Structure 1
Amino acid sequence: MSHKVLLPSLNFSQVIELPLGKITIGMTSEAVNDPEAFPEGAPTVTIPASQNDLYFFIFSDPKNKVLPIRIQPVNIDNEILKIGETMWFNFSERDLAAKLGKAKMAIKAKKRAISKPPLTKSGYYLAQFVYKEDGGSQYLPIMKKSWWFDEYSKNIGFIIDTGARMPKIYTFRDRRWAKPKTDL
C-alpha cells in the first residue's frame, strides 16, 4: 500500500496511522502499490510490533543510488519520551550542557539525551546553552533566551554544526496530546 507524504523542511509531516504489528516501511519517489514491485535497494526500515508511537527522521544518504535518503525511526512511546520532556539529538562534534528552567541537561557529541520538563505548568522559562570546543576543558556560551514550555507537548531538539563557530539549536513541539480549551 502506498501513502504519499509531504516532507516539509525542518518541521513535522502530517501524522500517519500505521497498522498494528511488525511492519516494514520503504520510501520511493513514485507510488508502489504492489509490494513485489518495490525497488530493490530503496530505503526501508522495519518497525517492531512493540513500538506504537514514533517519528521517522529522513537524512541524506548519497550512497543509496535508488533514492539518496536514509530512514531513522525514533521511538517516542510514553515509556521512552513523556509529555513535557524533550528528546535531544546532538549531531554536532561538541559536548553541550544546558539549564532549561528548573531542569539541567548534558549531552555528548553525536549522542542523544532526554531533558525533563523545565516547569510544572505551561509558561516561559530561561534556556541557557553552553558548549565545549574540540579538546577544550571549559564551556563557552551559545545562547540565553526565554522559551515557551507547553505542558501538553512532546518536544524534539536538534543540535547541528553549520560550519560556524557555534552549533545551531532547533526545537519542535508535537502537540498531539494537547487538551482542547473549554473556556471559549
Structure 2
Amino acid sequence: MTEPLPGHVVAVARDDAHRFSKPTRESITLIAGLGVEGDAHAGTTVQHLSRIRRDPTTPNLRQVHLIHAELFDDVAARGHEVTPGALGENITTAGVDLLALPRGTRLEVGDDAVVEITGLRNPCAQINGISEGLMKELVYVDDAGDTVRLAGVMSVVLRGGVVRPGDGIRVILPAGAPEPLQPV
C-alpha cells in the first residue's frame, strides 16, 4: 500500500480576462509550454500586461502561479480574509513549502501534469484591493535587510494534464547545488 502524498491541490482557478482574482473551477487543463488552457496569462511569451509593455518578446516564465493555502491562515490571523483564486493563483496547494523550493524544482501535479518552478511571484499593489494592508503582509523587508516575498511561486508547464482539487503533488528537486528563488 502506498502512502498518500502530503502535498495536494486545494483549489484550481483560471480566468480568460486580465482581472486580478481568478474564479475557482472544478478542474483546469495545463498545456505544455503555454500554461493554463483558457487563462489570460497562457502563452509562450509574457502575458502580464505590465510586462508586455516592457518587452512583449520575453519568454513567459509565469505560465502557472501556485500559492500555498497555509498563507491564507497566516494572513487571516492578522485580519485579512483571502480565499483560493483571490490572489490570482492558478493552483492553491497545501503540504508543500513552495517558497523553500529551489529554482528548477519540478512538481508532478495529479496524474499527468508537470510544472517547473521558475521563481517567486513579485506581487503588485492591487493586492490591497482584496484587503487594505495585505501587500505589507506579502512583501516586506526583514531584519537583515532582505526583501521577503510570500505571494507564491511561478512556473512553466513541462507536461500537460488536467488538475483538480484533491490531486496529489510530488516534489522532484533539481540535481546539483540548489539555486534560491528570485522574482520573475
* Fold shared by both chains (TM-score > 0.5): no
With the shorter chain as reference, the TM-score category is: under 0.3
Between 1 and 2, higher relative CO (CA 8 Å, sep ≥ 6) is seen in: 2
Greater Rg by CA: 1
Scaled by the length of structure 2, the TM-score of the pair is 0.25
Higher strand proportion: 1
